[in-house]
Structure 1
Amino acid sequence: MSNWIDIGALNDIPRQGARVVKTQSGCVAVFRTLNDDVFALEDRCPHKNGPLSEGIVHGSKVTCPLHNWVFDMNTGEAQGNDEGSVPTYPAKVENGRILLDIELIMARSAA
């Protein structure tokens, strides 16, 4: 079961940019790609806890601003020689609005 919440308009996030959504479980980075795809990841790099929301978006990847670790936003997996992963969360766009599955975010943080 899911519980989608509206976090704002797609146009509130610049292309290749991010927005941070604060939840009871921590911060979620919501990214918009050049092609208007949206992705939601925990806003914390597993390497040195860098804020991924401040990273560089390229294609469906984001580069951490602290040490250039690259993560695939589809899977959360580190790319190249880097190791680790970032939790990802369901996000979608309907009628120009970004929706997040807040129930899954809360469930993952409780695990």
Structure 2
Amino acid sequence: DWQLGAIRETGGMVGLNFATGFLREDGKMNADTGLDIMVRHIDSLLQALGEDGIGLGSDFDGAMIPAVIGDVAGLPKLIDALAARGFGRALIEKIAYRNWLSVLE
């Protein structure tokens, strides 16, 4: 929590880690990890960082990620899950790419 507080105070952001060992409460590297867990993490990060402080981190570089995502082609499933949870289009765009663009600028 203190790390997230420091990131928020300095205007930083966090990319959601897709590695299942970080997503799951049991810490298991298990591809059978649902989108609901990812959405809960995003909810939690939003509470800690605000809507300008979160993005998608992915970890497509070799981490065990949820099978439901698979690879970059599965990202629309996560976006759809956020929309189904009631996230508005503007917030989804911030999480998906606009916050990263802000950091890079």
TM-score bucket of the superposed structures, by smaller chain: under 0.3
Larger helix proportion of the pair:
2
Larger strand proportion of the pair:
1
Higher RCO structure, 1 or 2 (CA under 8 Å, sep 6+): 2
